[in-house]
Structure 1
C-alpha cells in the first residue's frame, strides 16, 4: 500500500502571538474538515508568564481564545466542544465558573469536559475548544 502524503496543516495564528507559539513549538489552531481545533489557551502575559490573579488569568485565557477564534473567522458561538483544565478544582472551580457566563453566550451550550490537574506550567486554568467553521 502506498503512503498518501498528508496535506500541510492549515494553521491559524492570532495577531501578535506568533513568537510565543514558535518558541513553544505548537500551533494555536488548525483548520481541518470544516472544524477548528484550538490548542489550550492560558492566561499568559505577552512574555508568556502567568497572570498571577486567578480571575484575571481566566479572563486573559478567554481573551486569547477569542483572538484565535476571530483569526479563523469564528466566535465562541461556533464552539461545539470545550475542555477545561483546572489546578485544584475543589478550591478554584466555583471562582472560575462565576466568570464563564461573561464569555460563554446563551444556550444551547457547547459540550464540556472538566479535568482537575496538579500542574499547568505555572497556570491555574487552561481552555481548549473545537469550533465548527462557518460555511
Structure 2
C-alpha cells in the first residue's frame, strides 16, 4: 500500500487520535475530507445545535485551508444529521454563510440516529487547486 498523503489542520483535534482517522487525504487531484463535527479542540461537542453546525463548518474550513483549498473547491457534500425533520431548516439557514454563491456542490443529507455524541456532521470531496495537485 502506498503512503497516504494526509492533511491535518493547524490545530489538530483530539478526535483524530481518539478515533484513529485522518482529517483528509489527497489522491489524484482530489481531497477527501472525513466527516467534520462541531467539536471543540478537546473533542467535546458544542452544546447548542446551531453552534455545532457553525463549528463543523469552521473545522471543515480549517482542513480545506491546510490543503490549499476553500469551500469553492468542494464538488460533493454529504451531511449526516440527528433528527433532520426538526433540524434541517435550522441547519440550512446557516449554510449560506459558508457555501457562497451558485453554482453549488452536489449535496446529500442523511438522517441518522447516532453521531458519537454530535448532532451534525459534514464530509466533502474537493478538487485540489492545480498547484497543490502536483
TM-score normalised per structure 2: 0.94
Q: How many residues align?
A: 130
Of the three residues 34, 46, 52, the one matched with 2:47 is: 52
* 1:128 matched to 2:123: yes
Q: Secondary structure at the match of 2:44?
A: coil
Deviations 1:17-71 (A, max 9, x none): 1543122200000000000000000000111011010010000000000000000
Q: How does 1:56-135 map to 2 (within 5 A)?
A: 56-135=51-130
| Structure 1 stretches of at least 4 aligned residues deviating more than 4 Å after TM superposition | none
TM-score (normalised: structure 1): 0.94
Distance in 1, matches of 2:74 and 2:101, equals 12
SS at match of 1:84: strand
Unaligned runs of 5+ in 2: none
Contact 2:13 2:43 in 1 (8 A): no
Alignment RMSD: 0.9
Larger Rg: 1
Deviation for aligned residue 1:15: 1.0
Match of 2:3 among 5, 8, 30: 8
